[in-house]
Structure 1
Amino acid sequence: MRRRDFLLTTVPLALAATGARAIGPRSQVGVGRLKHGGAWDSRPEALRRLLWEAGKRTSISVARDAAVVSLDEDTPEGRELFWQPLVFLSGEGELPPFSARQRARLERHLRYGGMLVIDAPSAADPFTAGAKRELAAVLPGTTLRALDGEHVIFKSFYLLDGAVGRTRDDAHLYAVDVAGRAAVVLSTNDLLGALERDRFGTWRFDCEPDGDAQRELAFRLAVNLLMYATCLDYKEDQVHIPFIMKKKRR
């Protein structure tokens, strides 16, 4: 299902408000932080910073902060899930199993056009294995595939050569496709760790091995993920053509 269908199905008020910013926050692009039974809030400021950077760097109108969402029904956080076309699942350590109903809600979100970014601190962290376990239960029969540098995600706004984060141990992102799009993306470089600041504006984590230059690439990758998730009727050969041509001339 295309992202236009996602909005038509799950957020009709937001679609109706397109181009009318004065209507309120539902006309703005936002992201969700998925609350779960593990250490879901270990990078609490990262997505706020991503939205601020996206608002500064692109032409999209963004929310001021990420929304906390959950896979539970009949709760404010559960209802918020279907307002967010892009949701981040992050953590460290063990990821407790989702219930059958929670898995069904996540599957519905993905099949309706939503996108899930799984951000793991490393490939070896137990969180990575737990996230893969849940992914196999939510979308049985699918497999994660490595995305090379030619994938749309690496050129949806910035032209990038590969994946980075707080670390750069793996130059790949990994994805599961649903209806021809990358509905789930896995990063094992602690992307949100590179974006995380404390309340005083200090970066919480060093980016290794390349410091601030690597942090900038992490922000660019995060912006690309946001643009990929929220563009309607995405066309690889048409997105941001003036920007890309300008970058190629430099």
Structure 2
Amino acid sequence: MSERYDLYYWPGIQGRGEFPRLVLEAAEAPYRDMARLDEAAGGGVPAMMRVLETGIGHHIPFAPPFLVVGDRLVAQSAEISAYLGERLGLAPDTEADRLFARTIALTTADLVTDAHDTHHPIATSLYYADQKPEALRRAQEFRGERMPKFLGWYEWLLEMNDHGVLVGDRLTYADLGLFQVMEGLRYAFPRRMGAIEGRYPRVIALHDAVAQHPAVARYLASPRRLPFNEDGIFRHYPELDGE
């Protein structure tokens, strides 16, 4: 593990950057969280903006999160997680399972987008206060239709696999992604999750197993793990929650 990984994402929020960050932490990989570093040390938001403006070679990311490893640039949370997982021992062994792990990560990214759009259903450039009526309608559909559909799919995958993980026979980045989603949904929709999560005992068991993974547990207890807040993807607005 001689390579150093530079992860770029907005400071102050977990957001989409938390998915690859969990992979790095679970693998105990050497990495720098660039936008959280002091500007004097070559970090901060200005360092992130420089890569967004000039790229690495001819490769310019559209938006954070992105990862720089030497002269390589990888963007999009699911793609970064897959890249890291496959290099750091947090991916399945067979090609078929590796491809399906990517499928799971991309589906998880869809769920994250759905969760985000409950509070920004019209435009990300507008404040939540500017789209409250639409947000109420979107959140109702998300709670009633989308959450059970996604969680039911994860539960089914776990039921089909005797190893207690989503794919393969050991913990992978796909499982870390589901852990993060469960954490986010519990924060943003505590009433709804309290009402339905008992339907998904295998999902809960996997979440708890990830939380007890030694490296993950150390990370969760550290100041590196930022708390959820109302600037991130998962936001707790009580009026959007319900049983």
More strand per residue:
1
> If the length of structure 2 is used for normalisation, what is the TM-score?
0.32
More helix per residue:
2
Q: Point out the structure with max Rg over C-alpha.
A: 2
